[in-house]
Amino acid sequence: MPRTYDTILLDLGGVLIDVDYHATARAFRALGHADFDRLYSKAQQDHLFDGFETGALSPEEFRDRIRQVLDPSLSDAMIDANWNAMLGSIPPERIELVSRLKERYQVLLLSNTNAIHVPAFEAIIARENGITDFKALFHGAYYSCEIGQRKPEAAAYHHVLERHNADPRRTLFIDDSIQHVHGARAAGLNAEHLELANEDVIGLVDQLGLL
């Protein structure tokens, strides 16, 4: 028998929305900046991406840092377009899955994301899925850049669950990043790793017998 849950906590990128993390590097290379990997490596050392995801850096500060490392002539629009190149679509069947889950569970969303990606993926979803209020698909939806906490920190999971009176022991978290799964388990949640090379979230939900 499947374990009984009251709450399902979902990741966004990779779980609901398709993401190609290499597309951003390809986009920068197409502009003649073959060293985006160096930017990523160097930025990891000074926590550029983590800081942007928690809102510690503004979009302006993020763009300026990229210009410092890559090319001072890069415009805001060019940086945003390349940065957003990784964002794909949400297949309609995954939207339907969220609706079906909501009939049985409290369904929440927790995404590590940033203030440039948010309006971009919300625009994609509005254009392709006809949904103008993406957060309204869930009983609660939270972006790391807005709450100042990011996975896999325990505080990020508890921030979300406490606002919805959700018991971690009766919550199932689904994420495609294994470090986030480990973080959720350490924070007292049940967690499943979605291995994108082998399945998508619809198959995992079916395998777990959640519906």
d(C-alpha 95, C-alpha 131), whole Å: 10
Which tokens hold the place of 186?
């350490």
CATH class of 23-86: mainly alpha
Q: What is the CA radius of gyration of the chain?
A: 18
Q: Do domains 7-19+89-208 and 23-86 have the same CATH topology?
A: no
Among 12, 38, 37, 15, which Cα is nearest to 24's?
A: 37
Query: Mind listing the pLDDT tens digit of every residue in the chain (211 residues)?
Result: 456 899 999 999 999 999 998 899 899 889 888 777 766 654 454 578 889 999 999 999 999 999 988 889 999 999 999 999 999 999 999 999 999 999 999 999 999 999 999 999 999 999 999 999 999 999 999 999 999 999 999 999 999 999 999 999 999 999 999 999 999 999 999 999 999 999 999 999 999 999 9
**In the chain, where the domains are located:** 7-19+89-208, 23-86
Sheet hosting strand 171-175, strand order edge to edge = 140-143, 106-111, 7-10, 171-175, 190-193
**Domain formed by 7-19+89-208, architecture:** 3-Layer(aba) Sandwich (3.40)
Among 13, 16, 17, which Cα is nearest to 205's?
A: 16
